[in-house]
């Protein structure tokens, strides 16, 4: 590996930021709950007010997604996330269990290294800063190379608001000189206590290899099963809107419709009325060629682009009111690229015969590319819903909701977050929506609640053959040792 001057500058910046955050966190770790909440509220309010500008910056710099939808994600990351954590205690005694005579005390982890993706470059930064600072940690963010300016602007807004409200300088930082070596230097720095990684698979794997606690987010290859008992009008509206949202940049976006055969034709008609365009086989093959490289990797040039842009890339035309492209397929795996996660408004479609077949198809999709992440189900039959909930190896199962907004906690009551864990089965240490609870440790003061057993207090008899308690045995042992030593001389 060749190290350039750019890499050296990036590595030095990482060291400086980690040390600055460490020194500031030693101060912040002694903050009161009132001080913590004042600073976080100021950051949330300021970020919310800047949501539109930051969303526009992100769309313009990256070329990904829809500025209006990015604004909504920024508002979610500031307002919704803050509302969900503002009343959570993170200082001092956070719980007293009188029945068990235990006090629980919050303790910050220290300095967090946060990796920020290009697909959600400002909203993820806002989210990670809020939950880290609320837990009395420092944080240093690494922007994606495609999104440095907008991420740095989001960080600056949060920094300025925090310091005006009383946070120490240096508590919140972000790298401006981006390189792989610099990012690795940050994650491996001795003052970094925890890594919060949201991004592509390779970078998340690097985060997990640093020998530190790391919350990593895996890919989401989210199936949406539509049962014969579903409200089809609602399902069609939600699936199309969710897949079109910010051109499919949220990892919980639906990647395939798994349609129960008795309602499949009607569901397709309703989705077409909402702006879905069902491609023919030739068009589907052209989409396979532009969305992925031959090795299966996602083509960044086709990421988070409009349906019209993708159709033009693939060599065909569609009406201007089309929102998503849908391809009918019948295989899952390496031989069918469209069964992968697609960070674009392209949706695979599978016909199945009954919920049992729907279960099997969904399991195939999840196992191929989204273990532990999310699944959506549209149904009214509670037995079917519960069967999916019990059977699927995922940790978010959204019922009759949009995948994008349901999984992150905007339209459901799961904890609002833009970092969605995939659990042990997905290579992560949690299956939760990562929030402030994951960024502090808990120490416990435990009083005696039952007397020890009498045997534990009794001195007991000497163990048979224990030389240390028998002078004659000890003398014999020493004699044998001396004899053996003399033999070797």
Q: Which residues are catalytic?
A: 251
Identify any residues that bridge with 352 across adjacent strands, giving them in sequence order: 260
Q: Judge contact between 223 and 256, C-beta under 8 A.
A: yes
Pairing mode, if any, of strands 138-142 and 111-115? parallel
Q: Would you report the helix, strand and coil content of the chain in percent, each value rounded to 5?
A: 50, 15, 35
* DSSP state, residue 77: I
Place of tokens 């440095």: 148
Instruction: Centre a 10 Å sphere on the Cβ of residue 156 and count the other Cβ atoms it contains.
Output: 12
In whole angstroms, what is the distance from residue 190 CA to residue 6 CA? 22
The pair of structure tokens assigned to 221 is: 């290859």
Radius of gyration of the chain (CA): 28
Instruction: Centre a 10 Å sphere on the Cβ of residue 184 and count the other Cβ atoms it contains.
Output: 20
In whole angstroms, what is the distance from residue 429 CA to residue 423 CA? 6
> Which contacts qualify for 59-64: CB closer than 8 Å, 24 or more apart?
61/121, 61/146, 61/147, 61/148, 61/149, 61/150, 62/118, 62/119, 62/121, 62/146, 62/147, 62/150, 62/304, 63/304, 63/305, 64/118, 64/119, 64/146, 64/246, 64/247, 64/249, 64/303, 64/304, 64/305
Pick from 47, 49, 71: nearest CA to 59 = 71
In whole angstroms, what is the distance from residue 276 CA to residue 283 CA? 14
Instruction: Centre a 10 Å sphere on the Cβ of residue 170 and count the other Cβ atoms it contains.
Output: 21
């Amino acid at each position: 590996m060749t190290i350039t001057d750019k890499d050296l500058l990036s590595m030095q910046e990482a060291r400086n930021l980690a040390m600055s955050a460490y020194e500031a966190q030693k101060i912040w770790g002694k903050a009161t709950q009132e001080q913590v909440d004042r600073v976080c509220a100021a950051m949330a309010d300021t970020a919310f007010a800047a949501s539109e500008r930051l969303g526009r910056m992100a769309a313009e710099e990256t070329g990904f997604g829809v500025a209006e939808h990015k604004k909504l994600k920024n508002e979610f990351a500031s307002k919704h996330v803050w509302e969900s954590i503002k009343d959570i205690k993170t200082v001092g005694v956070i719980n007293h269990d009188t029945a068990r005579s235990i006090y629980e005390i919050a303790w910050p982890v220290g300095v967090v290294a946060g990796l920020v993706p290009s697909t959600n470059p400002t909203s993820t930064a806002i989210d990670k800063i809020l939950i880290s600072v609320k837990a009395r940690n420092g944080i240093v963010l690494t922007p994606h190379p495609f999104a440095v300016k907008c991420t740095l602007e989001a960080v600056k807004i949060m920094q300025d608001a925090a310091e005006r409200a009383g946070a120490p300088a240096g508590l919140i930082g972000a790298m401006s000189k981006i390189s792989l070596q610099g990012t690795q230097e940050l994650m491996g720095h001795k003052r970094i206590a925890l890594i919060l990684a949201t991004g592509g698979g390779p970078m998340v794997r690097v985060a997990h290899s640093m020998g530190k606690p790391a919350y990593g987010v895996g890919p989401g290859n989210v199936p949406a099963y539509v049962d014969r008992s579903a409200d089809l009008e609602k399902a069609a509206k939600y699936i199309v809107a969710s897949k079109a949202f910010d051109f499919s940049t949220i990892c919980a976006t639906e990647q395939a419709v798994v349609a129960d055969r008795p309602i499949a034709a009607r569901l397709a008609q309703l989705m077409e009325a909402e702006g879905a365009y069902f491609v023919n086989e030739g068009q589907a093959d052209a989409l396979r060629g532009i969305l992925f490289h031959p090795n299966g990797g996602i083509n960044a040039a086709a990421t988070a682009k409009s349906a019209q842009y993708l159709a033009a890339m693939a060599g065909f035309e569609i009406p201007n009111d089309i929102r998503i492209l849908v391809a009918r397929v019948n295989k899952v795996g390496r031989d069918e690229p469209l069964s992968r996660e697609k960070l674009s408004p392209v949706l695979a479609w599978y016909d199945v015969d009954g919920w049992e077949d729907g279960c099997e198809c969904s399991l195939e999709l999840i196992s191929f590319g989204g273990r532990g992440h999310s699944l959506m189900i549209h149904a009214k039959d509670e037995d079917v819903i519960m069967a999916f909930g019990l059977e699927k190896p995922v940790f978010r199962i959204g019922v009759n909701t949009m995948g994008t907004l349901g999984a992150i906690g905007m339209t459901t009551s799961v904890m609002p977050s833009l970092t969605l864990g995939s659990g042990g089965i997905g290579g992560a240490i949690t299956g939760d929506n990562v929030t402030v609870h994951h960024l502090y440790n808990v120490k416990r003061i435990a009083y005696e609640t039952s007397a020890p057993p009498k045997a534990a207090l009794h001195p007991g008899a000497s163990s048979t053959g224990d030389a240390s308690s028998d002078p004659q045995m000890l003398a014999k042992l020493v004699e044998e040792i001396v004899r053996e030593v003399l033999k070797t001389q």
